[in-house]
Amino acid sequence: MGMVPSRGPPASADRAPWSTPLWRAAPQTHGVPHRAPTPQFLLGESDVGQNRAEASQRVLAELNPHVVVAAHTGELSEAFLASFQVVVLTESPLEEQLRIGDFCHARGICFIVADAKGLAGQLFCDFGECFVVDDPAEGDPVRAAVQHISQGNPGVVTYMGAEDSRGHLFCDGDLVTFSGVEGMTELNGREPVPVHVLDAFRLEIGDTSSFSPYRCGGLVSQVRLPQVHSYEPLRRALAEPQIQVASPEDLPRSRSLHAAFQALHAFRGEQGRLPRPRAPVDAERVLELARSLVAQEGSLDEDVVRAFASVSAGDLCPMAAVIGALAAQEVLKAITKKFLPLDQWLYFDALECLALEGAAQLTEDDCAPRGSRYDGQIAVFGAAFQEQLGRQKYLVVGAGAIGCELLKNFAMMGLAAGPGGDLTVTDMDTVALSNLHRQLLYRSADISKPKSVVAAAAVRHMNPSVRVTAHQNQVGPATEPLYGDNFFRRLDGVASALDTLEARAYLESRCFRCLTPLLDSGTEGPRGNVLAMVPRLTKLLEPAGAPGDGTFPRCTLRYFPRTIHHTLQWARDEFEGLFQLPAEHVNRFMEDPAFLEQLPAGKALEVLEQVRGSLWERPRDWQDCVHWARRHWQSCYHDAITQLLHTFPPEHETSPGVPFWAEDRSCPHPLTFDPDNDTHLEYILAAAHLFAQVHKVPPCSDRAATQTILRSMVLPPFAPQEGLQIPLTEEREEVQAPAVPRCKGTTLGVPVPPDGVRLAVLTQDLMQRRQELVGGEEAQVPLMEPIHFEKDNNIHVDFITAASNLRAENYGIPPADWLTSKRIAGRIVPAIITTTAAVAGLACLEVYKLVWGCRDPSCYRNSNLCLSNCLLLRIQPLPPPTYQYGGREWSSWDRLEMRAVGADGQEMTVQEVLDWLQRTHGWTVTMLLRGHTVLYDREEDEETRTRQRAQRLSENLEDAGEPGQRELELYYVCEGEDAEAEDARPPLLCSLP
């Protein structure tokens, strides 16, 4: 259980709002003031005058019905605190922090302090004198396939990483265990041993000189042992702070902020209030108090303390989002003992915002309260800036996890909440159950509703003044008539959180073309980043490295899997090949058999065999489906493996003394079916259910009845085929594929006729069968129901998990549990709401700078964070690269712009464009293109050149099928260009009248 106090007015009775068996609030005796504080998104205008704890509790309870949330309005007595596992204080007086910190430390209660003042925040953790971290690192422990182990002191392990691994899998000092090693069996089951890394594929593991010679196989697995950590109580940590920083250069600034926060507490104790915004006298008093706390002369950055104090009365939603997210992740660490806790202080600031041009000239009057819901923001940036925020026009692309957090922040900030403001959110998706744990704008009642519509309604509820519009469109080439150049040029900024490289690259290109600022955010588990692309000031966004596409060599998947990723991909292929493709092909064949003529001969034969198998195997009832699933199990996990071992026996050698089953090939073994084995039965139930769905037969979930059917089945013995060729590489497989047996096939071991003969016979048989079905009562349209894999469908994941784990058992690969299988097979990117909240907060800090119109690149920040070890790195974006062309230097943002109106008032001809380039820049153009369309080529004959020069630009558009396009980007080649100018020239943008 935990307790979280909330924000309150500057008084000693400051307490917190809510309480649950997991979270409880400190006392909160006061009500909601006449304005809802800017960062408090749980409260609205209707809550004014109500107790803030109780008002917050009602909204919190809606977030997750499985968490009981209760408000506590009593005192924070020791008897009350003793029942909690975690206590979090937010914006609590220092005296209270020290009292509760002492108590929690003595009782072994994890204690956290989180505070945000203006543009700076602090976080403190004390998890006691003996806190055990069960799993200190991200991700799953590393495992790799062993290729060889030497006999020696030390012994050297050579291993093979997974296809998607990058660099070293192991680190010096890692503890590892071994399993499945043949030959050097002494390693199997031993206690974990430390390793020394030699290179990306070799480890030293200690003395193996007395062990048996290594033969083949085995896995080396990383072992993570619990770690014990000790923390100082707050009272001691204040005087001797252990501050965590991203780099040593940040430590002096963090130490200055440490003194500044203590000085602020002292000022509040003296004055009974926070320093007035932009009041020099108050700021200087805080600085005096800070100086008295610093023992070493000159170690205090006085400019930082003065800037901090001048806006410390401010309340900013983005700052609350960042500090709140960091604190929430520390709470999760305290509860789950996953990841290393903060040791012990963290300071974060965005005081660079005060360096914005004109910000230093703000006066006390500019930042004085107006009785507005935005007074906390006005205290930092002034009233005129708040009006500018209200006039903003922004596009949010994606209403997923980060999109929800951005929209929540925008509502609290008042973005687009004034005259002329406009906030557009677009997302094609609908709300799904799996969204609810991290996308805070949605509730269970919203499932299946359009995300953008629900999100826009939530924004209006938080702040009725925000002018928000919901779209359900993808931003891409197909929607350029809606999101064209004029649309992007009227925007003040775009905020995106896209999950595909293609969509991200397209949006970047649109913003680049229209000189529109772009803030791009992304997360993966506890890691996140924010990139700012500011026209003419920063370089374009870095193209992200191409992620693994989940593909592996086919021969690896079919014959030589080494990891659970291989077996899961094989199971995905099985799913598609059993329950999707055959049904699609049958339906298409029944509708129009002529579609086969459009396929290559080899592909047509494969499709026809799928169609034949589906039509001849049509089940009549559930029992037929179980029979089919049992036969398929036998084919995959017994017969196919038996055939492989018949072709390549365990003792087989590729050459004398060189075993075939070695290095990246693990020798498999066939399985024997057991209806009482849970994995075997789960496979049958899932496969039979899906097979029934495909053929529109009512399924059954009765395990006992299914087991009875299975026990009555007797399958014929399998006879391996002699002389079968099995490809050992992907290239050979592509050539020999038709002759390779697959577990889906029913003719394993039977000689097959040449392709041409098989194709003709199959076609004739299937046409006859089609006529029978079309003319009979069985005919349905469509005949079968294709099933596409859905990661949120439990039956689908049941099949994938069982199919993969059975395959893994064949090859001695450790199995994966249901959730891990779902994550890998569903290609789910890990996502947690703490990371998305922090990333959105960091992005909104950059929005402040864009709204201010900042043209100083040193004020902007790109951010990278890792909540697993509580690290936050913010760096200045790099400037745009430059290049030489036509005798001058150009920036990557530079372009040539022309209004393509000729002397006669009509749109320009190609000749007039050529003349403009010659007249304006002195360039003689030898070729002019739009995309792949050649508008002019000096190498053509005179007649062609004359015709090209006389054409108007829109004539070429009509030829290209784009008559409505009015903004053109042209590509040109000029006389005298060198080879280096191939891709380095400013684009020519033409606006047609």
The token pair at 310 is: 């001048």
A 10 A CB-CB count for 974 gives 18
- Specify whether 555 is catalytic: yes
SS3 for 318-339, per residue? Answer: HHHHHHHHHHHHHHHHHHHCEC
d(CA 96, CA 13): 10
The token pair at 435 is: 């969204």
Greatest C-alpha distance within the chain:
98
d(CA 297, CA 305): 15
Element (H, E) at 518: strand 518-524
3-class SS of residue 23:
strand
- Encode burial over 628-659: b for 16+ CB neighbours within 10 A, e otherwise: bbbebbbbbbbbbbbbbbebbeeeeeeeeeeb
d(CA 27, CA 31): 12
Answer yes or no: are the C-beta atoms of 360 and 153 closer than 8 Å.
Answer: no
Answer yes or no: are the C-beta atoms of 649 and 667 closer than 8 Å.
Answer: no
Q: ∠ at Cα 300 (294, 306), nearest 5°?
A: 110
d(CA 923, CA 946): 20
Burial class (CB in 10 A: 0-12, 13-18, 19+), 432: middle
SS3 for 59-116, per residue? Answer: HHHHHCCCCCCECCCCCCCHHHHCCCCEEEEECCCHHHHHHHHHHHHHHCCEEEEEEE
How many CA atoms are closer than 13 Å to the CA of 837, on its beta-carbon side? 23
The token pair at 44 is: 């609205």
Q: How far is CA 825 from CA 54, 790, 796, 800, 899, in A?
A: 43, 10, 10, 8, 52
How many CA atoms are closer than 13 Å to the CA of 542, on its beta-carbon side? 11
Cβ partners under 8 Å of residue 956, min gap 6: 930, 933, 935
d(CA 506, CA 326): 32
Answer yes or no: are the C-beta atoms of 142 and 350 closer than 8 Å.
Answer: no
Beta-sheet pairing, 345-349 with 393-397: unpaired
d(CA 810, CA 824): 20
Catalytic option among 110, 317, 555, 700 = 555
Answer yes or no: are the C-beta atoms of 354 and 312 closer than 8 Å.
Answer: no
C-alpha closest to that of 374 among 340, 332, 417: 417
Answer yes or no: are the C-beta atoms of 486 and 468 closer than 8 Å.
Answer: no
The one-letter code for the residue type at 717 is P
Element (H, E) at 35: none
**Which residue's entry shows tokens 């995309």?**
931
The one-letter code for the residue type at 426 is T
Cβ partners under 8 Å of residue 157, min gap 6: 146, 148, 149, 195, 202, 203, 204, 205, 220
C-alpha closest to that of 120 among 291, 274, 333: 274
The token pair at 220 is: 């080396």
The one-letter code for the residue type at 178 is F
Task: Give catalytic residues, as residue numbers.
Answer: 555
